[in-house]
Amino acid sequence: MSKFADTVKQDTPRLAVLFRRSAPDQEQFQWGIVGRMPILGLIGYLTKIQQELDDPWTDQLADEVAFVVVWHERDNQFEYFTHYDIPKDSLIGMLEVVKMALVDSQLVQQVRNQQIELLGPDGKPMRR
């Protein structure tokens, strides 16, 4: 059993980005998070690994045509697996979309919890 299959079998918290081609010139991505993980840490990790993806593929290959970030709570570390059939530039772009969605959700959550205030053009806090 591969390290990827073993990790997924343990139902480890993870971000999964699935990829498929519906036609030769059409790429489709789907993504989701399974389990609980620190979202701010995930955003930072995605930023970091976008730089690494410019290098030749690592030996951390996924068994499926997917890109997967795994959260190891015991070690407090992230790890990723990718598949060589996913075009690098498209994957890097999709990870940027995922990061934007995660940042937006964090911003909404912080505003809702009143941890930050949005200011209007007059410099005063906006009301809901």
Comparison of pLDDT for 89 and 9, the residue scoring more: 89
Tokens 């949005």 locate to 118
What is the pLDDT at residue 55?
67
The answer to whether position 82 is within a domain reads yes
Residue closest to 4 by CA, chosen among 76, 57, 67, 53: 67
| CA 55, chain centre distance (Å) | 19
Residue 122's pLDDT band (boundaries 50, 70, 90)? confident
Residue closest to 78 by CA, chosen among 39, 107, 109, 104: 39
Q: How many CB atoms lie within 10 A of CB 45?
A: 20
The answer to whether position 24 is within a domain reads yes
pLDDT tens by residue, 92-110 = 999 999 999 999 999 888 7
Query: Across the strands, what pairs with 28?
Result: 20
How does the average pLDDT of the chain come out, rounded? 85
Identify the domain containing residue 25 by its residue range. 3-112
The answer to whether position 126 is within a domain reads no
The answer to whether position 45 is within a domain reads yes
Indicate yes or no: pTM above 0.85: no
The answer to whether position 43 is within a domain reads yes
Q: How many domains does the chain have?
A: 1
The answer to whether position 124 is within a domain reads no
pLDDT tens by residue, 28-70 = 999 999 999 999 999 999 999 988 887 665 556 666 788 999 9
The answer to whether position 127 is within a domain reads no
How much of the chain, in percent, has pLDDT values that exceed 90?
46
